[in-house]
Amino acid sequence: MELRHLRYFVAVAEELSFTRAAARLRMAQPPLSQQIAKLEAEIGIRLLDRTSRSVQLTPAGSALLDEARRLLARADEVRRVAQNVGTDRGGALRIGCVASGFSGVLLHLLPGFRTHHPEVLPLVYEMEAAPQCHALIRGDIDIGFSRVSQQIPGVRVIPILSEPLMAALPAGHPLAERRRVPLVRLAGEAFVMFPRNAAPDAFDTITSACAAAGFSPDIAYEASNDHALISMVACGLGISIVPESTSNMTLPGIVYRHLARPAPTTSMAIALPAADPAPQALQMLRLAQDSYAGRA
């Protein structure tokens, strides 16, 4: 299977028209039809239902479309990395980061990193804590930013920043009128949280804080990432407890309130492969330690 065949297929699948796809690809329509037919023959299954008036994806075509987009994006990334290395620009730094890190540490660190190391190409992937650790061990990423507090075999964990937890509330919630929310007032509320297997440290930090306040959170919904979590809260499905950096992510219908003192805290840590971390990853670690000195 050739990448160009996947590019042709994605164009037809997105346009649902061989004519429009051919114009987009700047090629004639008959060769495009032949290449799609060749791809179907190679795979051994029909990807498109064609009539004289319409083109529709088959179930197999719909499944292939998502995978083809991912493969093409990865191919483009490989090309960019190769070009970066080939022009002596210092290679790439593959970064895994939890969503709250995008609105927190990376928001502050990446501009400075690019200023100090313009020869390095940052490639950033949103990942929760557990997938990050697996990716570091496999060598799929060079550095991770997540809320991991314990050392993990094959991974070196370095805390860099401690930040308070906050209440995330629907805008019309009665507690939204308060400047600070006592944690115990969240007892009996429907919670939106991450599943423990995706973010064990974040889950345990929140449930332990609730236990110290005398209750166990009623987890009504689980979210796959921060964007889904705050969207559920904004829709009024429940409340949540989030790191302060998450409050930089705003949506209509959601408000953030500090928890009453002493507020529980959560830590952001950098994770590196235990053996032979990439030089670019060590550069990022040093920048983070300098930027957040004394705040871990």
CA nearest neighbour of 288 among 267, 260, 261, 262: 267
3-state secondary structure of 250: coil
- 252 by Cβ neighbours in 10 Å (0-12 / 13-18 / 19+) ranks as exposed
Whether 148 and 160 have beta carbons less than 8 Å apart is answered as no
pLDDT tens per residue across all 296 residues of the chain: 788 888 898 999 898 988 898 999 889 989 898 999 988 888 888 899 888 778 898 988 888 888 888 888 777 766 666 655 544 445 789 999 988 888 889 999 999 999 998 888 899 998 888 889 899 999 999 999 998 878 888 999 999 999 999 999 999 999 999 999 999 999 999 999 999 987 888 899 999 999 999 999 999 999 988 889 999 999 999 999 999 999 998 899 999 999 998 889 999 999 999 999 999 999 999 999 999 988 87
Q: Is the dihedral of CA 224, 226, 231, 236 positive or negative?
A: positive
Report how far residue 246's alpha carbon sits from residue 223's, in angstroms, rounded to the nearest whole number.
Answer: 14
Pairing label, strands 143-146, 240-243: unpaired
- Cα dihedral 147, 225, 206, 180, rounded to 10, equals 110
The rounded Cα 129 to chain-centroid distance in angstroms is 10
Crossing angle of the two packed helices 129-138 and 200-212, in degrees rounded to 10: 150
Give the domains, in start order, of the chain with CATH numbers. Answer: 3-86 (1.10.10.10), 91-296 (3.40.190.290)
Report how far residue 131's alpha carbon sits from residue 203's, in angstroms, rounded to the nearest whole number.
Answer: 15
- Tokens describing residue 3: 């990448």
